[in-house]
């Protein structure tokens, strides 16, 4: 049996109190690639107590911003040295092509460096108020932060949460997805190596309903940050009401990619493919709804189908692979269920729709790049997040209908507009009820810019200065410059 990989709690690598373990599966072939300890409520409580003590009594809150930044820079350097190892680990664990995992590793390095720089920058304000007072605002760490991340970006989603929280001076209890914990385990090895104080960084493994729920509900946790599905986000929000802890939720999406007839045709086709099939469509901001102006609809769909059928699907480590497997058998079956549902609802399959079983792919969880046409706005495949390589195409007549259709879901995470008319692009993008938008491109994101959505796509923002501020409390300080009796009451 493989060595059991452990959790990191209070500066020690430990196994779950229950002794339970979980096998980690390579979704490209079904092989067991690791065995990890399977934590639960008891282990989460232990990690929370360690983080609480480290924040309330330890050296971390007194550490200067310069010293915190220096630790983050050391983490970035170590991560950069091992970038190839981290990329390979994410590919084995998640299934994504190695070229995508390599981008994630590089972005993670840049994220640590960005927040290391931000830690020492000015944070606060001063005000000119009526004499003899001086008023100011300072930002202080929230305290103990519970952080729960999904399986689609095992390394990068971890870093998006950990880097700003630590830069701001918080202690953390971090729980990755139970099915993709391998790169987070390696990241915590780096935290230990560079010398974070005991109890500052805690890694809890295990499923959401046990370990995750304990983190969300604990009164010793001051903030919970979650990325994942909207239904789970609701449960976390409810659990957080016990002590009214701060929350930030990055949830689902059903993002529109709007293409007008005056767009550069081949560019729009290229990005439409990238928008939905990057990451096998397992991306919260994926362009999963393609809105086409009527006059180009048939030609555009024909070209999309032609190119989608040429996408090289295979194991992420295989040379030339452009799209990998879905993350698990359970998730593959969910996606295939939506494809069946779409056909039952009356949509037409333009291509794809099946599990891929040829050329040695039968042991993995591969689904063909899929496109639905002849859809209606009320169809579940149009309204619900499928989270796989399934594109639904909608048709519009004019700018107003495009905007109406684009906003016609409960989600508001992302959206894009393709057009050669700059004024029209601005008009439409400003009408989209979405937090992340693009004009004549799709998917590029930056550590410097905020990430998050409108409506049921979440609360709060990650990345940029906005993401840093999510991990701070604002304190008003008023100083009397003339210390003498006020004389408000007669003697």
Question: Taking all residues of the chain, what is their mean pLDDT, rounded to a whole number?
Answer: 97
Token duo for residue 281: 């469509």
Exposure pattern of 182-199 as b/e (b: 16+ CB <10 Å)?
bbbbbbbebbeeeebebb
**CA 26, CA 20: separation in Å to the nearest integer?**
20
Helix (H, G, I), strand (E, B) or coil at 172: strand
Q: Average pLDDT of 375-397?
A: 98
Confidence of residue 176 (pLDDT cuts 50, 70, 90): very high
**CA 365, CA 217: separation in Å to the nearest integer?**
34
Confidence of residue 150 (pLDDT cuts 50, 70, 90): very high
Q: What pLDDT digit, counting tens, does each position of 135-149 carry?
A: 999 999 999 999 999
**CA 236, CA 247: separation in Å to the nearest integer?**
9
Token duo for residue 55: 């924040």
With a cut of 60, say whether residue 1 has pLDDT above it: no
* Enclosing H/E stretch for 155: helix 154-167
Any catalytic annotation for residue 351?
no
Asked if 361 and 338 touch (Cβ cutoff 8 Å), the reply is: no
- pLDDT, residue 344, reads 98
**CA 174, CA 181: separation in Å to the nearest integer?**
11
Confidence of residue 131 (pLDDT cuts 50, 70, 90): confident
- pLDDT, residue 491, reads 87
Q: What pLDDT digit, counting tens, does each position of 253-271 carry?
A: 999 999 999 999 999 999 9
Q: For the chain, what is the largest distance between any 2 Cα atoms, rounded to a whole number of angstroms?
A: 95
With a cut of 90, say whether residue 359 has pLDDT above it: no
Q: Average pLDDT of 225-249?
A: 96
DSSP 180-204: S-HHHHHHHHHHHHHTPPTTTEEE-
> Which percentage of the chain shows pLDDT scores above 90?
98
Q: Where are the alpha helices (DSSP H) in 213-328?
A: 213-217, 230-239, 265-277, 297-308
**Measured between alpha carbons, how far is residue 329 from residues 46, 325, 382, 406 in Å?**
32, 10, 23, 31
Model pTM score: 0.96
Any catalytic annotation for residue 250?
yes
- Terminus-to-terminus CA distance in the chain, angstroms? 83
Active-site annotation holder among 145, 201, 284, 351: 284
Beta strands in 195-252 (DSSP E): 201-203, 223-227, 246-250
Place of tokens 């507009």: 417
- pLDDT, residue 61, reads 87
Place of tokens 């987070």: 184
Asked if 253 and 457 touch (Cβ cutoff 8 Å), the reply is: yes
**CA 85, CA 186: separation in Å to the nearest integer?**
9
Active-site annotation holder among 100, 178, 250, 462: 250
Q: Which of 103, 52, 7 is nearest to 446 (CA)?
A: 103
Say how many CA atoms lie within 13 Å of 99 toward its Cβ: 8
**CA 222, CA 49: separation in Å to the nearest integer?**
12
Asked if 432 and 453 touch (Cβ cutoff 8 Å), the reply is: no
Q: Average pLDDT of 127-138?
A: 93
**CA 180, CA 151: separation in Å to the nearest integer?**
5
Contacts made by residues 100-108, CB under 8 angstroms, sequence distance 24+ = 100/278, 100/279, 100/316, 101/155, 101/316, 104/153, 104/155, 104/156, 105/79, 105/155, 107/156, 107/159, 107/447, 108/79, 108/155, 108/156, 108/158, 108/159
With a cut of 90, say whether residue 2 has pLDDT above it: no
* Enclosing H/E stretch for 113: helix 98-119
Q: Average pLDDT of 89-99?
A: 98
């Amino acid at each position: 049996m493989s060595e059991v990989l452990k959790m990191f709690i209070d500066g020690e690598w430990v196994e779950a109190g229950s002794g339970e373990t979980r096998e980690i599966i390579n979704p490209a072939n079904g092989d067991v690639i690791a065995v990890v300890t399977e934590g639960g409520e008891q282990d989460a409580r232990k990690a929370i107590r360690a983080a609480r003590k480290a924040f309330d009594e330890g050296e971390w809150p007194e550490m200067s911003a310069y010293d915190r930044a220096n630790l983050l820079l050391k983490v970035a350097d170590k991560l950069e040295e091992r970038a190839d190892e981290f990329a390979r680990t994410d590919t084995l664990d998640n299934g994504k092509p190695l070229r995508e995992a390599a981008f994630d590793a590089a972005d993670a390095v840049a994220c640590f460096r960005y927040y290391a720089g931000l830690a020492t920058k000015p944070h606060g304000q001063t005000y000119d108020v009526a004499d003899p007072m001086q008023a100011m605002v300072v930002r202080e760490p929230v305290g103990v932060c519970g952080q729960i991340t999904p399986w689609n970006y095992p390394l990068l989603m971890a870093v998006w949460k950990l880097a700003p929280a630590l830069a701001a001076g918080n202690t953390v209890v971090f729980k990755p997805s139970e099915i993709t914990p391998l790169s987070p385990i390696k990241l915590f090895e780096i935290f230990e190596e560079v010398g974070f104080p005991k109890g500052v960084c805690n890694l809890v493994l295990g499923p959401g309903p046990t370990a995750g729920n304990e983190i969300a509900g604990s009164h010793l946790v001051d903030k919970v940050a979650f990325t994942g599905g909207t239904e789970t986000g609701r449960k976390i929000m409810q659990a957080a009401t016990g002590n009214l802890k701060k929350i930030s939720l990055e949830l689902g999406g059903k993002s529109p990619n709007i293409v007008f007839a005056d767009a550069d045709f081949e560019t729009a086709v290229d990005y439409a493919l990238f928008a939905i099939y990057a990451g096998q469509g397992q991306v919260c901001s994926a362009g999963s709804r393609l809105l086409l102006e009527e006059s180009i609809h048939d030609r555009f769909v024909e070209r999309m189908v032609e190119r989608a059928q040429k996408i090289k699907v295979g194991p992420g480590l295989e040379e030339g692979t452009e799209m990998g497997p879905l993350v698990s058998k359970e998730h593959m079956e969910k996606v295939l269920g939506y494809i069946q549902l779409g056909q039952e609802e009356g949509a037409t399959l333009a291509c794809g729709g099946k599990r891929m079983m040829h050329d040695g792919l039968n042991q993995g969880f591969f689904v063909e790049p899929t496109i639905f046409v002849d859809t209606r706005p009320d169809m579940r495949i149009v309204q619900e997040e499928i989270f796989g390589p399934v594109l639904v195409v909608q048709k519009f007549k004019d700018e107003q209908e495009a905007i109406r259709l684009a906003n016609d879901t409960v989600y508001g995470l992302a959206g894009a507009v393709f057009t050669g008319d700059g004024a029209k692009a601005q008009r439409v993008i400003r009408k989209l009820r979405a937090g992340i938008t693009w004009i004549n491109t799709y998917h590029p994101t930056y550590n410097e810019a905020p990430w998050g959505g409108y409506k049921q796509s979440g609360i709060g923002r990650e990345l940029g200065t906005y993401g840093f501020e999510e991990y701070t409390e604002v304190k008003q300080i008023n100083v009397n410059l003339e210390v003498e009796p006020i004389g408000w009451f007669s003697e």
